[in-house]
Amino acid sequence: MATIAVLGTLDTKGEEHGYVAALIRQRGHQTLVIDVGALEAPRIQPDIPRTEIAAAAGADLAAVVARRDRGEAVGVMTKGAPVVLERLRSEGRIHGVISLGGGGGTAICTAAMRALPIGFPKLMVSTLASGNTAPYVGVKDIVMMPSVVDVAGLNRLSRVLLAQAAGAICGMVEAVAPPAADKPVVVASQFGNTTACITRAREVLEAAGLEVMVFAATGNGGRTMESLVESGLVAGVLDVTTTEWADEFVGGVLGAGPTRLEAAARRGIPAILTPGCLDMVNFGERAGIPEKFAGRRFYQHNAQVTLMRTTPDECDAIGRILAEKANLSKGAVTVLIPLGGISVISAPGQPFHWPEADAALFSSWKRHLRADIPVIEYPGNINDPAFAELCANELLRNLGRAGARRPT
């Protein structure tokens, strides 16, 4: 029997949270009802009151209520809820969390869920779940379920959907993954234009007894990979597809933030770095590309994705950034450069083949790189099987230098 946190603004959505809590208990689990409302009295009795949440935020709830400032109240609860929820998890008092919310409730409760580790069951039923959920999910595994109707009373539709949500969180806490071999974990970055490279490298690494987790280099994928490296669960990093830095620097839609490439470097995790897909900057439909990029070289990947070729000047600047990130490394890191193309479409004869741009990228990276960091140049394309095998074997070599210890 598990204990599931039922987290919500009980002043406005108490009835709905009480309904879900009762259904969870009917399925044989316990509940811990937590109130993150503020301005009005809770409509059901919580197990953990809002005063405890406010205290965790260092706030005087009575003073907040007296000012009747909803924005301030949401801010206080958004700060305190993550502290309380993570403490409950670390103490073993909860085994999953569910919440129902509109705008304010979703902001508060997903902030709390983001404080919890990946793998801990999290379900958010929200009026915002059908839109852009990236600000609420972040790099965590929060399940966002559309409420369809507003979370405003129980009716013939909401009863069905909330009952399904209660069943879903129960199923999540009951689920147990089959046992698997305890292997060291390697994370790898991939794009469609480097899939062949990662596929072959993964085969080599798995044959050597490693478990490989592949992340799409789509901004959120890179941030998630960095977060996992920071967690201490990763033994090595195969960062073949560093393309997110092209978007970050030039202004595309798939940037991963200014700390991309730093997690492994700062933690001393053995790593391989290559310039995968730094020939391209990602945009949506062609009509939505900013006017300042008029006249640039474009490639229509599909109806929703337009790629723009990076210029020699941009590549020179990106090379310097990659070197600065690599220079932070406390562990074994190797830079591998495929001279015959850094993506499928930058190979000779392909739309983004631009030797001068590639040369600017490579020379800048090498020029600004720490002298003790090895650089290996390969004459062919990034997707050649031989290059993939070279990447995998160099990572194995770096893991050997680090003692190939399992992460703790």
pLDDT of residue 403: 47
Identify the helix (H) or strand (E) that includes residue 369: none
Say whether 185-401 and 3-174 share the same fold.
Answer: yes
Q: In what order do the strands lie in the sheet with 280-283?
A: 280-283, 305-309, 298-302
Q: Collapsing DSSP states into helix, strand and coil, what is residue 205?
A: helix
Give the relative orientation of helices 103-114 and 70-90 as an angle to the nearest 10 degrees.
Answer: 30
Q: Structurally, what CATH architecture does the domain formed by 3-174 represent?
A: 3-Layer(aba) Sandwich (3.40)
Q: Which residues contact 295 (CB under 8 A, 6 or more apart)?
A: none
Q: Where are the domains of the chain?
A: 3-174, 185-401
- Three-point CA angle 288, 215, 98, nearest 5°: 90
Smallest CA-to-CA distance from 214 within 245, 233, 240 is with 240
Domain 185-401 has CATH 3.40.50.12030: yes
Q: Collapsing DSSP states into helix, strand and coil, what is residue 30?
A: strand
Q: What are the residues facing 130 on neighbouring strands?
A: none
**Residue type for position 229:** V
- Alpha-carbon span 127 to 13, nearest angstrom: 13
Express each pLDDT in 164-180 by its tens digit: 999 999 999 999 988 77
pLDDT of residue 87: 98
Q: Which parts of the chain sit beneath pLDDT 70? A: 401-408
Alpha helices in 208-276 (DSSP H): 220-230, 244-250, 263-267
Q: Which residues in 305-319 are b (16+ Cβ under 10 Å) and which e?
A: bbbbbbbbebbbbbb
- Three-point CA angle 338, 282, 365, nearest 5°: 35
Q: Collapsing DSSP states into helix, strand and coil, what is residue 6?
A: strand
Q: Which residues contact 165 (CB under 8 A, 6 or more apart)?
A: 20, 98, 100, 123, 125, 145
pLDDT of residue 401: 58
CB atoms within 10 A of CB 34: 27
Q: Which residues contact 336 (CB under 8 A, 6 or more apart)?
A: 272, 273, 274, 375, 376, 377, 378, 387, 390, 391, 394
